[in-house]
Structure 1
Amino acid sequence: MPRKEQLNAIEKNQEAIALAVTHAVLKLGVATLVRVHIQTPTKALFRFNGLLIGSDGQRFCYLQLPKLSSQQKKQYFGAGYSLRLHGVSADGSLIRFGGKVQGLMEAHHTLLCVELVRDGASATPLRQDKRFNVELSAALNIDGKASVPVTIHDLSVGGCLFSYRAIGLQIDEEQNAALSLTGIPASQALTMSGVILSHRLKGERYHCGLKFDDRSKSRSAWLVTNLDYDGELYRLSIPHNDGELTSSLSI
């Protein structure tokens, strides 16, 4: 499923709600994971996941970049280059807005200053019931016990289905549990918590249904909007977040 159709499938309606760009940034909040696409004057497209760390409330917002090479910074972060950004707010809305590269600030982390574009900012509520077939590695934590490796097979904004080897861990319905994705950079760490709704043994694995709590839904929504379809399953589009060229600016 192309990304445009994928996002349409989880949007509650086809009409996004227009926002002032400064409101869009504030709605995302601080320390929020976002997806960024940059377009160079030669139409090359570069995408990465960054961390929105704040704004001046008027003209600029600031992103913490992942570890990128000097060549990537020189080639794709020229002053004035256009970019589009999307992220998920705490209320589960997909936030989109545009801007221009203002410059990089090198310190302990590399910060990107973005000059905000006034037009085109929007918020779209996301459906919680649209499910995606995935195969994501995670660690299950429950009642302070040692974490157990699990595989997430089915994911939506509202919950997921995961499985783990039948190794003696006892799980009851209505127990609180948390899933933390593994194999991703610490800067993108995602932990989703909720309540166990089902637990059954199938062959050599237990299969469990987890309903996410409200606090986790912005994280699961961000995860859903960052999946790419490979013909069989949906997978994280930038698992190592070192930036990559892409063929589409639409997000």
Structure 2
Amino acid sequence: MNTNSIQEKKPPARQKERVIMGLHAMDFIQHGTEASLEVLTPLGQRLTFKSNFIGFNEQQHIFFTMPHLTKKEYDEFFIEGFNVDIDGVSEKGGGALVRFRTRIEHVVYKPIKLLVFSVPQQAKLVMLRNEVRYELSLPGDIQLPNRKLRVILTDVSSAGCGFSFDAISPEFDVDQRIVLEVVNDISGDNYALSGVVKNSRKKRGKQNYGLVFDGPGKANCQRLQSKLFYDGTKYVFKSPHKAPTLGA
């Protein structure tokens, strides 16, 4: 059996949700990762916004960037002691959502703007992926109304894929239908990975999206996977001079 080719196999059963404790929860969120935050006031009012995780210290503090909001919103919602629910996407564990509740410790305006929260006693790690996902770095294109957008296919599974591009480019809505087109420069074959956008986040100056395939997208993904092999660091297109067949 050829162990270099991408093969469809049933992944081991994994726990969908587990509890992680204290500062250990912060290890699952990469610095600079965009997270979704929701402030909850004692009267039940809610304010949801995006912010970037900066880091934590040994004094049980975690730090996030200050969002662009109105003065009225800051006056009403950013009060020390208010509860905050935080959802951040983890790069560890095959893809997961880190979810926890904390409280506002400090709102710093000078010399730099900063949100300071207390480290939660525990957090939930919710698995997002049910299938094996393979890391790639393949260029692709998405057809926009007036031009093609060049993106990088970052990972792929039988059910979907991830892709990224510069943050200054257009944004896609969740549930928006798109087609990510990948071309094999060696053979000239084209693979149209069609489906709907299911999640998005900003990370280190780039937009990162998750795409769930539709029927034709899954079929084209299977064609694509059959033409890839592992070069020791990532999956790339097979050379025609040494192109092992799947299951050989």
Q: When the two structures are superposed, what TM-score results if normalisation uses the length of structure 1?
A: 0.51
In structure 1, what is the Cα distance between the partners aligned to 2:81 and 2:210? 30
- Report the equivalent of 1:33: 34
In structure 2, what is the Cα distance between the partners aligned to 1:117 and 1:178? 31
In structure 2, what is the Cα distance between the partners aligned to 1:159 and 1:217? 14
User: Residue 98 of structure 2 contacts residue 126 of structure 2 at CA under 8 Å; is this kept in 1?
Assistant: yes
Cα distance change, pair 81–50 in 1 and its aligned pair in 2 (3 A): same
- Report the equivalent of 1:115: 118
User: Residue 89 of structure 2 contacts residue 97 of structure 2 at CA under 8 Å; is this kept in 1?
Assistant: yes
Cα distance change, pair 218–127 in 1 and its aligned pair in 2 (3 A): farther
User: Residue 102 of structure 2 contacts residue 119 of structure 2 at CA under 8 Å; is this kept in 1?
Assistant: yes
In the alignment, is residue 94 of structure 1 matched against residue 97 of structure 2? yes
Give the number of the structure whose alpha-carbon radius of gyration is greater. 2
In structure 2, what is the Cα distance between the partners aligned to 1:196 and 1:108? 47
Residue 55 of structure 1 deviates from its aligned partner by: 0.5
In structure 2, what is the Cα distance between the partners aligned to 1:20 and 1:149? 41
Correspondent of 1:209 among 193, 207, 210: 193
Cα distance change, pair 65–118 in 1 and its aligned pair in 2 (3 A): same
Cα distance change, pair 42–217 in 1 and its aligned pair in 2 (3 A): closer
What amino acid is the match of 1:113? V
Cα-Cα RMSD: 4.3
- Report the equivalent of 1:73: 74
SS in structure 1 at match of 2:101: strand
- Report the equivalent of 1:127: 129
Cα distance change, pair 223–41 in 1 and its aligned pair in 2 (3 A): farther
Cα distance change, pair 178–76 in 1 and its aligned pair in 2 (3 A): closer
SS in structure 1 at match of 2:34: strand
- Report the equivalent of 1:48: 49
In structure 1, what is the Cα distance between the partners aligned to 2:80 and 2:165? 40
In the alignment, is residue 196 of structure 1 matched against residue 198 of structure 2? no
Residue 183 of structure 1 deviates from its aligned partner by: 3.9
Gaps of 5+ in 2: 1-12, 132-139, 172-179, 185-189, 195-199, 212-248
Deviation digits for residues 27-80 of structure 1 (CA, Å, limit 9, x no counterpart): 102111110011001110111010000001451100002211111111111110
Counting matched residue pairs gives 160
In the alignment, is residue 19 of structure 1 matched against residue 20 of structure 2? yes
Cα distance change, pair 195–90 in 1 and its aligned pair in 2 (3 A): farther
In structure 1, what is the Cα distance between the partners aligned to 2:58 and 2:181? 37
User: Residue 140 of structure 1 contacts residue 180 of structure 1 at CA under 8 Å; is this kept in 2?
Assistant: no
In structure 2, what is the Cα distance between the partners aligned to 1:217 and 1:84? 17
- Report the equivalent of 2:148: 148
SS in structure 1 at match of 2:42: coil
Cα distance change, pair 95–195 in 1 and its aligned pair in 2 (3 A): farther
In structure 1, what is the Cα distance between the partners aligned to 2:164 and 2:40? 38
Identity of aligned residues (%): 18
Cα distance change, pair 218–52 in 1 and its aligned pair in 2 (3 A): closer
Residue 127 of structure 1 deviates from its aligned partner by: 1.7
Q: When the two structures are superposed, what TM-score results if normalisation uses the length of structure 2?
A: 0.51
Gaps of 5+ in 1: 1-11, 130-138, 142-146, 161-176, 185-193, 199-205, 211-215, 226-251
User: Residue 28 of structure 1 contacts residue 89 of structure 1 at CA under 8 Å; is this kept in 2?
Assistant: yes
SS in structure 2 at match of 1:19: strand
What amino acid is the match of 1:125? M
User: Residue 62 of structure 1 contacts residue 111 of structure 1 at CA under 8 Å; is this kept in 2?
Assistant: yes
